[in-house]
Structure 1
């Protein structure tokens, strides 16, 4: 039973609610509908480029935050799944490269800047950046992409357009649209294609080497190993320089090679299709879209196989070829230090290898012994594998 007082209170509350509701309705009805804010989401266009990043974040190589506090709070350890990079949302990214704790980006020239870098910079591998104020000193680490200034290089470099980038352990190669190559960072083994200077200070006195032609030919592609470099000319000839103690330059020479020279052996006189290898694992791609692997590490044949002395084909079914999709083929391959990736002709990404700091993008840290598809919400055009992070250049689905 309700007392008279309680009944009176309920009636007053109901009356107030009813009055408030009626007033709110009248207020809504009196609004000018044309002034009500609307939220419009951008519609993906065929030319929209995106960059996804995942793996180790502590070095700044992912370029995910502009604030150190936000970086420590949101990405204290690693990014488990492919995440869109804000830096790339308003720029047309042409190429990406993942080095040892740093990343490089080639972007459509905006205000004369087409080469950017983020992450570890102890050897000026992503440019020479100074703090303002009285005590000016270079940055050892960047947590968000910053432009790399090429104006210090001799010659007319104003407005140069970088179209391709490659990254090694502590050096970067940037290929311009006119065929010139800019090499910056550590040159202790001659990997930048210039004479080795004993005890050179790469951090405080950085040098950028420009290579215009090789044997009167323009360069059309570049690639970096750990401490060596490759240059592919327009005619399909392959040149190399850098550390060759294990013969990785392919010149039938051992030691340090500071001047780019032709790669010898069976590839001499041949047009190269695709070979990639950063450390102990080497991948090759034939014209039928089959992937071959050899070397040491997680090769894609299961946990029991860690070494192959000769090239062996990875079963095409692991990359999506089956009775329902018999024509599926791999169009591009990539090798990091301990993990590898491949992209098929449907723009799907498959990865395998050691999963350091989640660099495979599967949402965990477990090693993957067979190629497995990565969930990327876009068409994957290219990836780049570092030591413990991965970059993916993509196009939006339309």
Structure 2
């Protein structure tokens, strides 16, 4: 089955799987799992997506609401058509290389962008209203999502509380001769993806990140914009306003060229082009990495000395960074072992993870972490819901790992190219040589 046909299959079949009944949905899942290899002679590899962990909201994409303790194949497709996996809490998403968006999991507040009476969507389902735009990145929040197109425009949907979607609705605000309206109602559900409003003219966004009640946008000029709830300084701006219903530039970073952003539940990290890291927001567990547990309403430098940071990832209340030479540093909330520091105590500055491997990618979930090294996948942190993929089925201390454990499920001819840690589940994109 070609990648193009796979996308068409999802669009034409999976959208109506609930109407056909769960059993039929499972048959459809089995169909593309069994038949996606029909054209294997045309490609040198097969791309597969696996999921595991807590599945009670359908976030594993397996057509059911079961929990899996080892990686379980969601689909297999000839060649490679998936560009990005993304997940958070109880939702999952992917985008294809031709810019299509698929979501699944808990659809409260219609966070999946899918109009359905079903509480949970258990199979990857296309967000039809984004079909006419070329999406290049997606970010999952707890109750909202954002998508970035190839022109630098941002679309958002889900719960509109605190203005984190950047949509015009109810609150009147005058700007010269124009009047804009912004929502402040948590009852208003923005189920339909709409373009984020209020950015300066000609601003091109290159990265997006969704927290719990706030959103962060990065422009091609290295500018950072935030919107949503400013509780505990999550927006990084000095203002008397508790909420921003449109993007506001983080003024104190104007002299920095920011190249990457990341969000926890109510804090933010920003990395500049010199490998220096800044943080702001809630800091009750030391997740800002500034040596204290005091929140910061404006960006402050993270205490990582002369280390050159290359990549960052945020969990709910903790943070992780990769250096240019593949070393891992973690800080913040540590009670689930997610800091990989042997101890489960909270840590207030970046601390070195003593590991012999070179890390290529890192993804922080609510309480567990996925690390890719040379195509192999390693996990640590909380595992009692099966999110580590190690086969542990007993809720005990043995399911909490304070050192990286390899997911040995995958074969020698399989290379993990992406892994995303969610709330209590994990997604992995695997390339299998033929």
Q: After the TM superposition, which residues 200-239 of structure 1 pair with which residues of structure 2 at under 5 Å, given as runs?
A: 200-202=187-189, 206-211=191-196, 214-215=199-200, 216-239=202-225
Q: Could you tell me which of 373, 382, 395 is aligned with 2:406?
A: 373
Post-superposition Cα deviations, 1:361-385, rounded to whole Å, max 9, x if no partner, equal 1111511111222233432222222
Deviation, 1:301, is 3.9
* 1:337 counterpart (352, 366, 384): 366
Structure 1: distance between partners of 2:430 and 2:251: 35
Alpha-carbon distance change, 230 to 89 in structure 1, aligned in 2, over 3 angstroms: farther
Residue 86 (structure 1) aligns with: 75
| 1:225-263 CA-partner distances (Å, limit 9, x unpaired) | 233222222233333323332333333568433322334
Tell me the residue number matched to 1:36.
Answer: none
Report what 2:60 is aligned to.
Answer: 62
Please say if 1:104 is aligned against 2:104.
Answer: no
Residue equivalent to 2:347? 308
3-state SS of 2:375 partner: coil
Q: Following the alignment from structure 1 to structure 2, what is the Cα–Cα distance between the partners of residues 383 and 107?
A: 16
- 1:141-181 CA-to-partner distances (Å, cap 9, x unmatched) read 11112111226xxxxxx631222211111111112222222
1: distance between equivalents of 2:55 and 2:119? 16
Q: Does 2:166 match 1:187?
A: no
The two structures, once aligned, show a CA RMSD in angstroms of 3.0
Tell me the residue number matched to 2:111.
125
Query: Of residues 340, 352, 357 in structure 1, which corresponds to 2:385?
Result: 357
Specify the alignment match of 1:386 in structure 2. Answer: 422
Secondary structure of the structure 2 residue equivalent to 1:390: strand
Structure 2 residue ranges without an equivalent (≥5)? 1-36, 168-181, 259-270, 272-309, 394-398
Conserved in 2, the CA contact under 8 Å of 1:212 and 1:218?
no
Does structure 2 retain, via aligned residues, the 8 Å contact 1:103–1:118?
yes
Among candidates 124, 127, 138, match of residue 145 of structure 1: 124
Normalization by structure 2: what TM-score? Answer: 0.66
When residues 167 and 94 of structure 1 are mapped into structure 2, their CA distance, relative to the original with a 3 A threshold, is same
Q: In the alignment, is the contact (CA less than 8 A) between 1:226 and 1:279 conserved in 2? A: no
Counterpart-to-counterpart distance in 2, 1:62 and 1:120: 11
Higher relative contact order (CA 8 A, sep 6+): 1
Q: Judge conservation of contact 2:158–2:191 (CA < 8 Å) in 1.
A: yes
Cα drift, residue 56 of structure 1? 1.4
Q: How far apart are the structure 2 equivalents of 1:225 and 1:118?
A: 19
TM-score (norm 1): 0.72
For each residue in 1:32-67, what CA deviation from the matched residue of structure 2 results, as whole angstroms up to 9, or x when unmatched?
xxxxxxx989359456432111111221111112xx
What is the rounded CA distance, in whole Å, between the counterparts of 1:147 and 1:40 in structure 2?
23
CA separation of 1:267 and 1:289: change in aligned 2, threshold 3 A:
farther
Partner of 1:20: none
Kindly provide the CA deviation profile for residues 206-227 of structure 1, in whole angstroms up to 9, marking residues without a partner as x: 2423138944332222222233
Gaps of 5+ in 1: 1-38, 66-70, 131-137, 152-157, 321-328
Equivalent residue for 2:320? 283
Q: 1:44 to 1:284 in 2, by over 3 A?
A: farther
Q: Distance in 2 between matches of 1:162 and 1:64?
A: 24
Instruction: Find the residue that maps to 1:96 and give its secondary structure.
Output: strand
**Structure with bigger gyration radius:** 1
CA deviation map 1:305-345 (0-9, x unaligned): 3211111121242xx2xxxxxxxx3232211111122223x
Partner secondary structure for residue 337 of structure 1 = coil
Instruction: Please identify which structure carries the higher strand content.
Output: 2
CA 47–300 in structure 1, closer or farther in 2 if over 3 Å, else same: same
State the number of aligned residues: 322
